[in-house]
Amino acid sequence: GAVVSQHPSWVICKSGTSVKIECRSLDFQATTMFWYRQFPKQSLMLMATSNEGSKATYEQGVEKDKFLINHASLTLSTLTVTSAHPEDSSFYICSGPGTGGLAGVKEQYFGPGTRLTVT
Amino acid sequence: AQSVTQLGSHVSVSEGALVLLRCNYSSSVPPYLFWYVQYPNQGLQLLLKYTTGATLVKGINGFEAEFKKSETSFHLTKPSAHMSDAAEYFCAVSGGGTSYGKLTFGQGTILTVHP
């Protein structure tokens, strides 16, 4: 299957600083990628859809000015957590649709996730 | 709107025993349903999916799931558990079409397999 990487795999930052997380599709191109957040012992929650060449679309309740998404190329999407606070500590996961399957039913490939801890 | 409920955050079985992980969903549109598995320090891996057609779907590693519209369920089963099946399993639903990649996940079920 297709491979999605994330960098870093874990990061610790101080409150008030910004952190950038990269999501790369290593062997396929993606015009759309998705960002999820998972709090401890909770389910993955979709945060936003990253669109190559246009603005990201955010789910209800997600602050777009706090979680900046840039889809720089067909293989790279970045999520920047600005002015991070301890409540932003979470597991961030990205996904991208592979090239196989019919339009609208492409399999999603997930990255391994990035553990963010804000102190 | 869509939601997924996985009954049981932890399931423990003996090696060789039946695996049954329960998933119920709600969806305002015909659902696409998925089961993913996550091994430690790895990304989610698709086990199987239901989009249209046959309601009994077979996936990798001997897993299968049956879509039951009347029961709004999509339970995951495997006849005989193997030690390598120990992992966390997630059920997910999407609305299909342009919403295909926008998944709503259940809480996850951690499967433990005893020798």
Residue A91, token pair as written in the block: 């597991």
C-alpha torsion angle, residues B67, B71, B74, B77 (rounded to 10): -100
Yes or no, beta carbons of A110 and B98 under 8 Å apart: no
pLDDT score of B72 more than 70: yes
Mean pLDDT (chain B) is 91
| pLDDT at residue A41, as a whole number | 75
How far is A18 from chain B, CA to nearest CA, in Å? Answer: 24
**Helix-, strand-, coil-residue percentages of chain A, each rounded to 5:** 5, 50, 45
Q: In this structure, which amino acid lies at residue B103?
A: L
- Once rounded to an integer, what is the mean pLDDT over residues B1-19? 94
Kindly identify which residue of chain B lies nearest to residue A59, measuring between CA atoms.
B102
Q: Which residue has the higher pLDDT, B39 or B100?
A: B39
pLDDT score of A107 more than 90: no
Best residue in B5, B44, B90 for a mutation probing chain A (most A CBs within 10 Å): B44
Closest partner residue to A104 (CB to CB) among B41, B97, B108 is B97
Yes or no, beta carbons of A108 and B103 under 8 Å apart: yes
How far is A59 from chain B, CA to nearest CA, in Å? Answer: 10
| pLDDT at residue A101, as a whole number | 56
Distance CA B1, CA B17 (A): 36
Closest partner residue to B100 (CB to CB) among A43, A105, A113 is A105
Q: By the CB < 8 Å criterion, does A62 face chain B?
A: no
Residue B52, token pair as written in the block: 């249209």
pLDDT in tens, A26-43: 888 888 999 999 887 788
Distance CA A42, CA A61 (A): 17
How far is A119 from chain B, CA to nearest CA, in Å? Answer: 23
Q: How many residue contacts between A and B have a Cβ separation below 8 Å?
A: 61
* List of residues 6+ apart from A13 with CB closer than 8 A: A19, A84, A116, A117, A118, A119
Q: Which residue has the higher pLDDT, B95 or B88?
A: B88
Distance CA B105, CA B94 (A): 9
A96 and A32 Cβ atoms separated by less than 8 Å: yes
**Nearest CA-CA partner of A96 in A74, A68, A72:** A74
B29 and B88 Cβ atoms separated by less than 8 Å: no
Distance CA B57, CA B48 (A): 7
- Once rounded to an integer, what is the mean pLDDT over residues A88-96? 94
Say what percent of chain A tops pLDDT 70.
92
pLDDT in tens, A43-67: 899 999 999 888 999 999 999 999 9
